[in-house]
């Protein structure tokens, strides 16, 4: 069994969950190959045979943990953020951590986790390879604590990924009933920590269509991220996920310049033409096949009309709120 010192100094022991009642952090052991293959690290903890250990949070907070440069990828969902995290998982260049379970655990713990954020970020910043930086992409459901994460790592920079409303709503539609339910849940979530008076009573909110609720959730996400951009200034850059899809090599080069991670034009081109971009980031399915099926799933005149009307509606709300949506790309 590994000792606490061995766990805390080895990045392969990934913090996975916080037990605030016991005051401990649960770790899972994850080699680099498994890290590279992971689409969502939160799912890795349930695998059979996975090595698990716990360390008191008090011990972690007092430990001297060597750290690499750590940067964040925050996102508003359905905008290729998983693809970006996987593209940045490149031994010799950087480690890409896509949705570690520990960050969702911090959110779920609420105020009880406030003292745990800084030591847990130190754990995520441990070096996976000589000279490598670490990019952490939290789940979008952790955006509420994004400011706290940035404050916990003063040298960190963050790429905020988003996309136009039609792209976002098309992704909701593609996911069928569960996607529409998710859109409503996201609206409730966003109203909880980034809400504003929309001039609708409870009956009017209940009467909204699923895509209306999703559109408002997207708008509130844009407004929240605009606030992040204003608050953290030069530490933030915005990336349009659709533009990333069109210009992956240029995006990777720009991220390198912004964060100080050495990503040469040749490296960026090699990553953009490599296997990460030929399979769907979430499912591993052939990208061209999935794209064709997705286009067919959303090619409905009725859906397209609703999305167009919602785009006009949200534009009016944004104008009244005095913000531009989607927030403007600033990465390059």
User: How many whole angstroms separate alpha carbon 327 and alpha carbon 9?
Assistant: 39
User: How many whole angstroms separate alpha carbon 236 and alpha carbon 254?
Assistant: 13
Secondary structure percentages of the chain, helix, strand, coil, to 5: 55, 15, 30
How does pLDDT run along the chain (332 residues), one tens digit per residue? 799 999 999 999 999 999 999 999 999 999 999 999 989 999 987 677 789 999 999 999 999 999 999 999 999 999 999 999 999 999 999 999 999 999 999 999 999 999 999 999 999 999 999 999 999 999 999 999 999 999 999 999 999 999 999 999 999 999 999 999 999 999 999 999 999 999 999 999 999 999 999 999 999 999 999 999 999 999 999 999 999 999 999 999 999 999 999 999 999 999 999 999 987 767 777 767 777 787 777 778 999 999 999 999 999 999 999 999 999 999 99
Detail the DSSP E strand segments found in the chain. 13-19, 24-29, 52-56, 70-75, 94-98, 133-137, 158-162, 236-240
CB atoms within 10 A of CB 303: 15
What pLDDT is attached to residue 1? Answer: 79
Element (H, E) at 56: strand 52-56
Residue whose tokens read 């990828």: 73
List, in order of start, the domains of the chain with CATH numbers: 4-321 (3.40.50)
Q: What are phi and psi of 325, to 5 degrees?
A: -130, 145
Residues in the chain, total: 332
Q: Are strands 133-137 and 94-98 parallel, antiparallel or unpaired?
A: parallel
Report CA 3 to chain centroid distance, whole Å. 31
């Amino acid at each position: 069994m590994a000792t606490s010192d061995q766990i805390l100094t080895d990045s392969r022991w990934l913090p996975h969950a916080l037990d605030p009642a016991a005051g401990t952090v649960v770790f899972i052991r994850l080699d680099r190959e498994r890290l590279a293959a992971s689409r969502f690290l939160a799912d890795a903890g349930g695998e059979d045979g996975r090595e698990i250990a716990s360390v008191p949070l008090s011990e972690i907070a007092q430990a001297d943990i060597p750290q690499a440069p750590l940067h964040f990828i925050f996102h508003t969902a359905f905008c290729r953020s998983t693809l970006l995290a996987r593209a940045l998982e490149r031994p010799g260049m950087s480690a890409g951590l896509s949705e570690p379970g520990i960050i969702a655990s911090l959110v779920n713990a609420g105020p009880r986790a406030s003292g745990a954020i800084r030591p847990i970020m130190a754990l995520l910043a441990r070096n996976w390879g000589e000279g490598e930086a670490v990019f952490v992409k939290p789940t979008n459901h952790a955006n509420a604590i994004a400011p706290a994460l940035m404050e916990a790592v003063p040298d960190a920079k963050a790429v905020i990924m988003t996309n136009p409303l039609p792209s976002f709503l098309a992704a909701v539609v593609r996911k069928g009933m569960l996607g529409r339910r998710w859109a409503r849940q996201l609206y409730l979530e966003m109203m909880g920590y980034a809400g504003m008076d929309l001039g609708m009573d409870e009956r009017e909110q209940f009467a909204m269509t699923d895509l209306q609720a999703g559109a408002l959730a997207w708008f509130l996400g844009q407004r929240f991220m605009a606030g992040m951009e204003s608050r953290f200034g030069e530490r933030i850059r915005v990336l349009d996920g659709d533009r990333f899809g069109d210009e992956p090599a240029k995006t990777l080069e720009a991220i390198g310049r912004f964060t100080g991670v050495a990503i040469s034009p040749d490296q960026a081109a090699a990553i953009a033409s490599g296997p990460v971009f030929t399979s769907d980031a979430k499912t591993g399915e052939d990208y061209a096949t999935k794209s064709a099926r997705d286009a067919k799933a959303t090619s409905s005149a009725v859906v397209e009309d609703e999305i167009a009307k919602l785009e006009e509606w949200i534009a009016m709300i944004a104008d009244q709120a005095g913000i531009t949506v989607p927030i403007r790309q600033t990465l390059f």
